[in-house]
């Protein structure tokens, strides 16, 4: 079974809760899953994550949470070939802000530019976590990480 990697960035804890819930759903389904804080993931490690779920909130003005800043700086400057990655993003934000779900949009766009394959459109949570569990279940199915 191929390992599922959950990479999250959170400022106040909501995206972390979504990551924990996603991990719990995966374990419940018998998926081989590992969760990483975004600040602990190097570009070399990222390249090996063939099945990837990214969960990030947005802070500032469309910015990544502090724990995702280095990751974003490296990803945006990188010219890595990420064509071995299949992924989907769950973005948390609030549409009262100008750059709605800006962090998720940045990461999603950059992964695509570097050749990663988007297996499911980004899910956007507006002021809450609605739809994130459905996103998680569907993404696991599309990533092909569910045991037979």
Ligand X SMILES: Cc1cc2nc3c(=O)[nH]c(=O)nc-3n(C[C@H](O)[C@H](O)[C@H](O)COP(=O)(O)O)c2cc1C
Residue located via tokens 């779920």: 53
Q: Rule CB under 6 A: is residue 62 a binding residue for ligand X?
A: yes
Closest CB to ligand X belongs to which residue?
Answer: 93
Residue located via tokens 């018998």: 30
Per DSSP, what are the bridge partners of residue 33? 4
- Binding residue (CB under 6 A) for ligand X from 65, 132, 135, 139: 65
Cβ at position 20, least distance to ligand X in Å: 11
| Cα separation, 3 vs 51, whole angstroms | 7
Residues 99-118 that bind ligand X (CB under 6 A): 99-102
- Helices marked H in 1-148: 14-28, 43-47, 69-77, 102-113, 132-143
- Binding residue (CB under 6 A) for ligand X from 30, 40, 60, 83: 60
112 CB contacts (<8 Å, ≥6 apart)? 118
| Cα separation, 79 vs 47, whole angstroms | 11
Q: Rule CB under 6 A: is residue 11 a binding residue for ligand X?
A: yes
Site string for ligand X, 74-103 (x = CB under 6 A): ------------------xxx--x-xxxx-
Number of amino acids touching ligand X (CB under 6 A): 21
What are the residues binding ligand X (CB under 6 A)?
Answer: 10-15, 57-62, 65, 92-94, 97, 99-102
């Amino acid at each position: 079974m191929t390992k599922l990697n959950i990479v999250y960035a959170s400022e106040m804890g909501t995206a972390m809760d979504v990551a924990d819930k996603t991990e719990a759903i995966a374990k419940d389904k018998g998926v081989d899953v590992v969760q990483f804080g975004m600040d602990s993931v190097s570009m070399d490690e990222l390249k090996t994550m063939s099945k990837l779920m990214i969960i990030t909130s947005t802070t500032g003005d469309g910015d990544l949470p502090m724990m995702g800043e280095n990751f974003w700086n490296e990803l945006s400057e990188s010219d890595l070939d990420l064509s071995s990655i299949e992924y989907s993003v769950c973005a948390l934000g609030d549409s009262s802000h100008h750059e709605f779900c800006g962090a998720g949009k940045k990461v999603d766009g950059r992964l695509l530019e570097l050749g990663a394959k988007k297996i499911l459109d980004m899910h956007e949570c507006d002021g809450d976590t609605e739809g994130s569990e459905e996103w998680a279940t569907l993404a696991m199915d599309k990533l092909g990480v569910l045991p037979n």
